[in-house]
């Protein structure tokens, strides 16, 4: 059994990731740590986790932990991932892996010096539907990919949230703009050369709450809109020279119901003949936890290479520069 330790009682960890790890065939959660010892023990009891610690360092000192899952606020991703690596733990760290590309590069040194696996928890990269989309693209089912269109809107219930704190790496671009950025790079299998973005900011906190962008790839364009004060919606559309692909709930499909990809290669605009490819229910977070564990145990490559996460941060950096300058900005 591969034993994870969880840094914090993060809402996402408690509601989604811990149950997903516990559901893995060969993965389990051995311990949970919180800044508040009472919160750690209450959460551990409620989730059937054997050990609870009143500090993150105490969990890192536990010799029985194989890997740390880091779902801390964004500004703590790199510092605590470095600390965990220094303690000899493999690290599965939440997205975005850092505040910017320069900070993310520090993790290469942490990985090399401590000979551990460090990987961003970009679960969409292991989701079976997205792997199938990539196969369809490779087989030119929709001809040459020319445009990627992504949408991710949601509504935060309260402003009392790490996403409203600029010092913690808040804002919607880093939170959910992350997904169309990483998956457009995945689908084009390339890096954008330049980007443009517009951001609407919270008047009090200054974090972006609605961001829209264009990414210019050699082969085509990606565009996306993401907002954290909108009606909840998730869509992805890939438009090629010989067809298109559409996905509902592309980023967070429910893990307990079937999902599908819609493919249309009929040139008749008014009467499209679509093919619906069905997928069995699958929890993409469990898939990620299992694949990460296997890589850590075998010394194989992580499901999302650190080098790729750094390139992704460079695109997010360029998008923020563009939102500030009002101009197109080169990547890198
Ligand atoms: N992959 C996905 O689908 C997905 C979904 C949601 C979120 N996420 C990622 O998960 C991370 C956490 O998101 P979340 O919504 O779970 O946030 P959250 O509920 O606010 O959890 C963050 C946790 O960090 C700990 N913490 C340590 N220092 C803190 C500080 N100065 N201020 C606030 N909390 C602090 C707290 O736990 P203790 O008090 O117990 O120490 C807190 O519960 C983010 O990086 C986010 O991008 C990923």
Where are the domains positioned within the chain? 2-122, 124-285+313-330
pLDDT of 180 higher than 90: yes
- Ligand 1 neighbourhood includes 226 CB (under 6 angstroms): no
Contact (CB, 8 A) for 248 and 145:
no
Averaged pLDDT for residues 270-287: 93
Query: pTM (2 decimals)?
Result: 0.98
The CA 43 to ligand 1 mean position distance, Å, reads 14
What's the CATH number of domain 124-285+313-330, 1.10.3720.10, 3.30.360.10, 3.90.1150.10, 3.40.640.10?
3.30.360.10
The whole-number pLDDT of residue 187 equals 98
CATH architecture of structural domain 2-122: 3-Layer(aba) Sandwich (3.40)
Residue 289 Cα, ligand 1 centroid: separation in angstroms? 18
* C-alpha–C-alpha distance, residues 152 and 104, integer Å: 24
Q: Do domains 2-122 and 124-285+313-330 have the same CATH topology?
A: no
Q: Which numbered atom of ligand 1 lies nearest the CA of 175?
A: 47
Helix axes 77-86, 101-114, angle to 10 degrees: 10
Mean pLDDT score, 144-167:
97
Confidence of residue 98 (pLDDT cuts 50, 70, 90): very high
pLDDT in tens, 299-312: 999 999 999 999 99
Pocket lining: 115 vs ligand 1, CB cutoff 6 Å: no
Which ligand 1 atom is the nearest neighbour of the CA of 178? 47
Alpha-carbon span 147 to 242, nearest angstrom: 12
Mean pLDDT of 33-43: 98
Looking from the CA of residue 10, the nearest atom of ligand 1 is 21
Q: Among positive and negative, which fits the CA dihedral 151, 224, 217, 311?
A: negative
Per-residue pLDDT tens for 41-81? 999 999 999 999 999 999 999 999 999 999 999 999 999 99
């Amino acid at each position: 059994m591969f034993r994870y330790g969880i840094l914090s009682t993060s809402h996402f960890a408690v509601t989604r990731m811990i149950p997903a790890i516990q559901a893995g065939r060969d993965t389990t959660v051995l311990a949970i740590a919180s800044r508040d010892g009472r919160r750690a023990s209450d959460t551990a009891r409620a989730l059937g986790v054997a050990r609870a610690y009143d500090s993150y360092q105490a969990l890192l000192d536990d010799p029985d932990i194989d890997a740390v899952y880091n779902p801390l606020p964004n500004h703590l991703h790199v510092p605590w991932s470095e600390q965990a690596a220094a303690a000899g733990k493999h690290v599965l760290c939440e997205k975005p892996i850092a505040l910017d590309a320069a900070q993310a590069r520090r993790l290469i040194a942490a990985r090399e010096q401590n000979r551990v696996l460090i990987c961003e928890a970009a679960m969409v990269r292991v989701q079976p539907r997205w792997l199938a989309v990539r196969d369809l693209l490779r087989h030119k089912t929709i001809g040459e990919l020319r445009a990627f269109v992504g949408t991710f809107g949601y509504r935060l219930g309260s402003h009392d949230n790490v996403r409203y704190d600029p010092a913690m790496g808040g804002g919607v671009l880093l939170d959910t703009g992350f997904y169309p950025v990483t998956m457009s790079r995945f689908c084009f299998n390339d890096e954008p050369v330049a980007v443009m973005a517009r951001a609407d900011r919270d008047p009090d906190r200054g974090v972006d709450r609605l961001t829209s962008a264009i990414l210019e790839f050699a082969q085509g364009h990606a565009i996306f809109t993401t907002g954290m004060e909108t009606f909840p919606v998730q869509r992805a559309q890939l438009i090629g020279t010989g067809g298109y692909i559409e996905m509902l709930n592309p980023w967070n499909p429910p893990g307990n119901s079937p999902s599908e990809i819609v493919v249309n290669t009929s040139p008749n605009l008014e009467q499209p003949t679509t093919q619906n490819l069905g997928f069995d229910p699958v929890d993409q977070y469990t898939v990620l936890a299992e694949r990460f564990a296997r890589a850590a145990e075998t010394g194989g490559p992580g499901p999302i290479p650190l080098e790729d996460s750094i390139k992704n941060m460079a695109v997010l950096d360029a998008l923020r520069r563009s939102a500030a300058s009002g101009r197109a900005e080169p990547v890198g």
